[in-house]
Amino acid sequence: MQKRLSRANVPLEATWRLEDLFATSALWLQEADQLLQDLSTVTQYAGRLGESADALLGCLESLEALQARISRFASYAHLHTSGDNTDPENQARSARSGDIVSKTSAALSFVSSEILSLPEGTLEQYYKDQPKLAVYHRYLSRLMAVQPHQLSAETEAVLASLGEVWGAPYRIYLRSKLSDMSFEPVQDSEGQTWPVSFALYENKYIQSSDTALRRASYDSFTKTLAAYQHTFAETYATEVKKQVVMSGLRKYDSVTDMLLQPQEVSQELYHNILDTIQMELAPHMRRLASLKQRVLGLDKMLYSDLKAPLDPHYNPKTTYEDACRLISDALQIMGPEYVAIVEKAFSDRWVDYADNVGKSTGAFCSTAYGSHSYILISWADNMRGAFTLAHEVGHAGHFTLAGRHQSYINARPSMYFIEAPSTMNELLLAQHIMKQSDDKRMRRWVIEQLLNTYYHNYVTHLLEGEMQRKVYAAATVGEALTATRLNELKLSALSAFWGDSVELDEGAGLTWMRQPHYYMSLYPYTYAAGLTASTAAAQRILAEGQPAVDRWLQALRAGGTLSPLELMKLAGVDMSTKQPIQAAVRYVGDLITELEQLYVELDV
């Protein structure tokens, strides 16, 4: 049986270079003490923000500088823990980081409280008195928008000091998932035994062409999930209760309104994504499920079969190094500055692609202002990994460009836009591969990769978003979020989408336990929003070339200086209507139709 490596035994080149953040752990510990000492650079302005425009400017400049350092400090701990959650030193580092972040947040909470208490008209006069405040105009405008929901300065300080406690449900979820869970090994169709873990199942077995291995690993995976379901349900229920209580204390109409406000997204935009895609995409995805069942000769279409490859015997070489070269070639259209960022990410160990015990599952890109991006992925030698890597490199390119052109306070855009640059790279990669060959089998394979992208964003994450909508509705009326209830809610979302095209078992109802996104506010549905925008923009790049590329890069460089709708309009996409959503869904339907035709033409 193959065994997973410990973190100490994976090749150095397969890990990220955290020394670029702090050369040694000792220097990181020094920074912990220094951050607490340097709080005075900001707290010296406490009680003085009503004095003058210069006092406000000095405070905000000091706040920005300190928050950028706190971001780098916290990232160092987070990235170490993501590499190996089982390492006691990493766990201790994470606890130390959480303590420092809580203390600094409490000490700095006076800034927003004092700004919100300024007399009416004060900020307008300050802008006239001190032109340098213009760079903070958007930050201040967004801050003033939450004025009706602000609590007293004392209460805000107490809440900020409890930041580590507020984050406990998410940490408990991760610790249980990555440190405590163990799974029974399984056998494939040839009798070979394989280990099972979160990462191995989600990144490898779920896409296995071996039906026996795919289904057996699913059974092993869900069996362990079931054993933890009550603990996980209590943990998630605590997270939801926290949000519901806070929305009431802050006098929001609903928890959804509270969670959407930082995204600058209306309920109409939120529901447009969830309702339109579920209703219009479901028939197309049911066709895809039926096609898979027929082509693969399955006795029945199980939930565990949905990501099975249609043509497992056609799989281009997929080493990590080859994937890097392929992605770099595909993104040449984005111009020299962008490509240089991509190539630096691959050559300078921005990417951690090892697969080791204790490593966080899935993939992400983390960027602390003033440092380069860090990408986590567990490389599993399947071509899907190239698309995932391109996706995360999209985040790196975006955050790097925004960081170069915007100050810390204006660098990060709304979460509603955040997945557009990443999914754009997946679409460009697909376009590039299809241009390289007239082979129909290759085209069929690329279409399947594209459909995997849409499945990931328009099905997996969108149905997470639907689950969240159901959960918040239930919690708002006082329903107990037990494991049984959460399983029912998840199964109802899956059943409404898949109908009778897929056989759903009890394990499918446990899917809410598999992703960490439920602890990240209203994040899941934004994957679909971002992919909708990138679909429209990618088609413009294909049709117009450089002018469309230039608009896209302009949107990336804008960072958080514009609202998400303004950013998307800058790129030529109007998300205020359903039109881009419906057009993207039709595109997915067209891809599935072409795939059906190719399977007839190639007689497979």
pLDDT digits (tens, 9 = 90+) for 270-280: 999 999 999 99
Predicted local distance difference test score (pLDDT) of residue 164: 83
DSSP element (H, E) containing 193: strand 193-194
The predicted structure's pLDDT at residue 603: 65
pLDDT class for 115, splitting at 50, 70, 90? very high
Is the pLDDT reported for residue 1 higher than 60?
Answer: no
CA–CA dist 310, 118 (Å, integer): 62
Classify residue 68: in a domain, yes or no.
yes
Query: What is the rounded distance in angstroms from the CA atom of residue 252 to the CA atom of residue 229?
Result: 31
Is residue 243 within 8 A of residue 258, CB to CB? The reply is yes
The pLDDT value given to residue 381: 82
pLDDT at residue 56 above 80?
yes
Range name among 14-28, 163-177, 383-397, 504-518 with the lowest pLDDT average: 163-177
pLDDT category of residue 400 using cuts at 50, 70 and 90: very high
**Average pLDDT for residues 559-576, to the nearest whole number?**
95
Query: d(Cα 460, Cα 511) in Å, to the nearest integer?
Result: 10
Q: Does residue 500 lie in a domain region?
A: no
Q: Which of 280, 240, 268, 266 is nearest to 467 (CA)?
A: 240
Mean pLDDT for the stretch of residues 255-272? 96
Closest CA to 433 of 592, 291, 590, 317: 317
**Has residue 185 been placed in a domain?**
no
| 191 vs 188: CA distance, rounded Å | 5
CB burial string 309-322: b at 16+ within 10 A, e below: bbbeeeeeebebee
In-domain check, residue 158: yes
Distance CA 443, CA 252 (A): 50
Token reading at 131: 């032109």
The full DSSP string for 313-377 is T------HHHHHHHHHHHGGGG-HHHHHHHHHHHHTT-EE---BTTPPSS-EEEE-TTS-EEEE-
Residue 129, number of CB atoms within 10 A of its CB: 13
Mean residue pLDDT of the chain comes to 94
pLDDT digits (tens, 9 = 90+) for 423-463: 999 999 999 999 988 889 989 999 999 999 999 999 999 99
* CA dist., res. 354 & res. 378, Å (int): 5
Query: Where residue 141 sits, what CATH number does that domain have?
Result: 1.20.140.70
* Location of structure tokens 């039926």: 290
φ/ψ of 366, rounded to 5, equals -120, 130
The average pLDDT across 77-98 equals: 95
140 and 115 Cβ atoms separated by less than 8 Å: yes
Q: Is residue 383 part of a domain?
A: no
Cβ distance 305 to 211 under 8 Å? Answer: yes
Q: How far apart are CA 488 and CA 411, in angstroms?
A: 40
355-385 residues labelled b (16+ CB within 10 A) or e (exposed): bbbbbbbbbbbbbbbebbbbbbbbbbebbbb
Residue 99 falls inside a structural domain: yes
What are 20's two structure tokens? Answer: 């670029």
Note the pLDDT of residue 315: 74
Question: Does residue 284 lie in a domain region?
Answer: no
Q: Give Cα 555 to chain centroid, integer Å.
A: 19
pLDDT of the residue at 349: 97
Alpha-carbon distance of 60 to 409, in angstroms, equals: 9
User: How many independent structural domains does the chain possess?
Assistant: 1
Domain membership of residue 133 as a residue range: 16-166
Q: Is 128 exposed, middle or buried (0-12, 13-18, 19+ CB in 10 A)?
A: exposed
The verdict on residue 26 lying in a domain is yes
pLDDT surpasses 60 at 604? no
